[in-house]
Structure 1
Amino acid sequence: MTWFLNSPQQSLGFILADSGFDVWIANTRGTRFSRQHATLDASKPEYWNWSWDELVDYDLPATFDFVYHQTGQKLHYVGHSLGTLIALASFSEGKLVDKLRSAALLSPVAYLSHMTTSIGILAAKAFLGEIISLVGVAEFNPKVEAVAQFLNSLCKNPGVDCYDLLTSFTGKNCCLNASTVDMALKNEPQSTSTKNLVHLSQTVRDGTLSKFNYEFQVMNVEHYGQGRPPIYNLSNIPTNLPLFLSYGGRDALADVEDVENLLDKLKFHQGDKLTTLFIKDYAHVDFIMGVNAKEMVYNALIAFFGRY
């Protein structure tokens, strides 16, 4: 839904369609549009035994396969935030690239060790501290009492302004319409798995991009055949894959230093195949809901797609 919250003249989904693109929108598993399964029930813990590794290994490739078989054409991909993380991890493992024309990554998240969101840092520490208040909670649904209590406990920390949760998490967005924010908060945040948030917290702590760490050597050996989880090596992303990265100077999640760390991993990319667009006043959500995002980002993104 995040691609359609503004007017048709301002929302990327509509702008791409009006520019002649065939637009496919994917929902992440666990959100209210995507809770079905061949054998598992979303009300049971087994359904929620996944992190973003599974999105990399199964969901994104399945989405690509589906669209490719429907259209017979290679895809342009647009991701924001978690959508950039799973794309980069997939590309580094050689997945998707045979069905891909190019990829646009908005607020790219690969490294999280410099994020400046106070509530995000507190949450990451809490998730890694065995998430005492959430033991047994497989689905992280902000509307469920146990999760709401956990969030309330974070809100009691000095420096966390829970009256403006969006800014607390994402940084000070410059260019949002109040009615769009209201609509976003009616629809978000959606459910995810607690395991997924633990995995993201490990990324914050470790400063590396690796598969889920079971924290016990014997369990890592059982899953990976080695004591530590394998790393996603972003230097393996094909150097001729056209990439468009846009990031903001006020983003508290995709911090400039972390994005520059990502760009360093892409330093051997073919020069004409890597386009970067830095917007000083933008924070995390401006890239999908900013009223001026068409002028600031989307026109350049569409021109980039046009070259490929």
Structure 2
Amino acid sequence: MIPRSISLAIILSILLQCARSSTLDDMTLMLSNMPEDGRLQFPELANKYGYKCDTYNVTTDDRYILTLYNIPGDTRRPVYLQHGFEDSADTFLLRTNTSLVAFLVEHGYDVWLGNMRGNKYSRAHESLLPDDLQFWEFSVHEAGTYDLPAMIDFVLKHTGQKQLQAIGHSEGTTVFFVMGAQRPEYNDKVKLVICLSPVAYLHHSSPPLFPLISLVGGPAASAALSVAAHGDLLKNSSVAVDLIKVACTQKLLSYEVCAEGVFFTAVGRDSEQFEPEFLPIAIGHYPCGSSVKTGAHFLQIAARKKFAQYDYGLAQNKLKYGSLEPPLYDLSKVKMKIALVVGKADTLTAPKDLQLLRKQLPDVVNYHVMDWEKWNHFDMVWGKYMYVFLFNHIHEMLTKYYV
């Protein structure tokens, strides 16, 4: 195993070499190592594996235009899937016929997949452009307050149902907690949300987060970083992300550097479920864009040890919130039924943090720890053996709480 510091040095070296010498044709040639499934967009992936895919645009109350996908099934049983940070709807289909989408379609569910503002599928607004800094003035708060309600309303209107069931991963669970607290009327529109590697508290996250917490955990540093990065974090079409794809799809050392040296250090080590052949497929779809402010918000949550709204600093907080500190999200208002699914080796969502979350949510109907000892944060959506260890539990929960 290559130490993380050496892995990052190797990646940096590759990136610098590519940046110095690459023309557009050179970049295309270097990306030729990426398999087809790493290049296809969601509708193309769905069609390749035999699924009909409908695409819809959903406009939020604050005028962002989001892309929502539907793989049709029994409209009496809509299931909504929400991806995590820097991710997209793609994540639920990357394992093709052993993915969560395939499993749900096989069991007749009407499958809906949302894309939060800022990712590669949801970079539009009625009046703002992605080049405008104001476009990126959002965090997990806006995603939970505006994006999720808009997509839920669209699904319910389209299917003619009063409620739906949902499955979220990572930030895709955080937005449900935010929505339940900030828009409590939406608790009645969700029968059950299955939370895969849920994120609300980050008190005990693994050491790789600590340097970032100390650098960006404060409001001043967060604001400075947002301006310096023009608000946009690792968009899918950027040169930086293309270079990362090149570095992580080479035949020599890519798996040791990118998977073992970086991914596993951040989310937990499980080489059996994240095998070398899968790395270039995953890296073709991840990361795919979000806002710097969203990343900073999570770092603030970790640094302040509070599940609270964005911290703008004392003066701005007073103007925006009427208080010197940002308000806490009131989890007692999150009345929807919730199932929590956790991995023993997940170094991002620590057991102590999940126990705290469990105690504060009013209606946790199930708390499930994965049997696989090495189950990590990304195994919930990318794991090679999800269909063996995870999907039957999901189906059991969906069936049990279907009304």
What's 2:343 paired with? 248
Q: Report how far residue 117 of structure 1 moved.
A: 4.5
8 A Cα contact 1:127 1:197, kept in partner: no
Paired AA for residue 224 in structure 1: Y
What's 1:261 paired with? 356
Structure 1 residues 295, 37: CA separation in 2 closer, same or farther (over 3 Å shift)? same
Paired AA for residue 139 in structure 1: D
Q: Distance in 1 between matches of 2:225 and 2:124?
A: 27
8 A Cα contact 1:211 1:232, kept in partner: yes
8 A Cα contact 2:225 2:292, kept in partner: no
**Residue 60 (structure 1) aligned with residue 148 (structure 2):** yes
What's 2:331 paired with? 234
8 A Cα contact 1:246 1:297, kept in partner: no
**Residue 190 (structure 1) aligned with residue 288 (structure 2):** yes
Structure 1 residues 183, 117: CA separation in 2 closer, same or farther (over 3 Å shift)? farther
Q: Report how far residue 182 of structure 1 moved.
A: 1.7
What's 1:112 paired with? 202
8 A Cα contact 1:61 1:95, kept in partner: no
8 A Cα contact 2:100 2:391, kept in partner: yes
Structure 1 residues 145, 15: CA separation in 2 closer, same or farther (over 3 Å shift)? closer
Q: Distance in 1 between matches of 2:186 and 2:279?
A: 33
8 A Cα contact 2:234 2:289, kept in partner: yes
8 A Cα contact 1:112 1:207, kept in partner: yes
Q: Distance in 2 between matches of 1:197 and 1:144?
A: 20
Paired AA for residue 332 in structure 2: S
Alignment of 1:1-308 (within 5 A): 1-8=90-97, 10-73=98-161, 74-93=163-182, 94-118=184-208, 120-128=209-217, 130=221, 135-137=227-229, 138-141=231-234, 143=238, 164-173=261-270, 174-215=272-313, 217-238=314-335, 241-266=336-361, 269=363, 274-279=365-370, 280-307=373-400, 308=402
SS where residue 23 of structure 1 aligns? strand
Q: Distance in 1 between matches of 2:279 and 2:228?
A: 32
Structure 1 residues 186, 145: CA separation in 2 closer, same or farther (over 3 Å shift)? closer
Q: Distance in 2 between matches of 1:7 and 1:145?
A: 27
Paired AA for residue 377 in structure 2: H
What's 2:10 paired with? none
Q: Report how far residue 225 of structure 1 moved.
A: 1.9
8 A Cα contact 1:117 1:253, kept in partner: no
Q: Report how far residue 135 of structure 1 moved.
A: 4.3
Q: Distance in 2 between matches of 1:85 and 1:144?
A: 29
Structure holding more strand per residue = 2
Based on CA coordinates, which of the two structures has the bigger radius of gyration?
A: 2
The structure, 1 or 2, with the larger RCO (C-alpha pairs under 8 Å, 6+ apart) is: 1
What's 2:51 paired with? none
CA RMSD across the alignment: 2.2
Paired AA for residue 297 in structure 2: H
Structure 1 residues 117, 282: CA separation in 2 closer, same or farther (over 3 Å shift)? farther
Q: CA deviation digits over 1:211-261, x for unaligned, max 9?
A: 10101x2211211122211111212222xx322111011101111111111
Structure 1 residues 145, 184: CA separation in 2 closer, same or farther (over 3 Å shift)? closer
Q: Distance in 1 between matches of 2:225 and 2:308?
A: 26
After the TM superposition, which of the residue ranges 93-102 and 56-65 deviates more from structure 2? Answer: 93-102
Q: Report how far residue 175 of structure 1 moved.
A: 1.8
The TM-score with structure 2 as length reference comes to 0.67
- For structure 2, the 5+ residue unaligned runs are 1-89, 245-256
Q: Distance in 2 between matches of 1:144 and 1:192?
A: 15
SS where residue 76 of structure 1 aligns? strand
Q: Report how far residue 193 of structure 1 moved.
A: 0.9
Identical counterparts, % of pairs: 27
Q: Distance in 1 between matches of 2:263 and 2:379?
A: 11
8 A Cα contact 1:78 1:104, kept in partner: yes
What's 1:154 paired with? none
8 A Cα contact 1:249 1:283, kept in partner: yes
Q: Distance in 2 between matches of 1:24 and 1:133?
A: 34
Q: Distance in 2 between matches of 1:105 and 1:23?
A: 17
Q: Distance in 2 between matches of 1:225 and 1:5?
A: 45
Q: CA deviation digits over 1:86-141, x for unaligned, max 9?
A: 111212331421211111000011101100141x3222322236166764211112
The TM-score with structure 1 as length reference comes to 0.87
Q: Report how far residue 277 of structure 1 moved.
A: 1.0
Structure 1 residues 261, 136: CA separation in 2 closer, same or farther (over 3 Å shift)? same
Q: Distance in 2 between matches of 1:296 and 1:284?
A: 14
- For structure 1, the 5+ residue unaligned runs are 150-160
The number of residue pairs the alignment matches comes to: 287
8 A Cα contact 1:108 1:254, kept in partner: yes
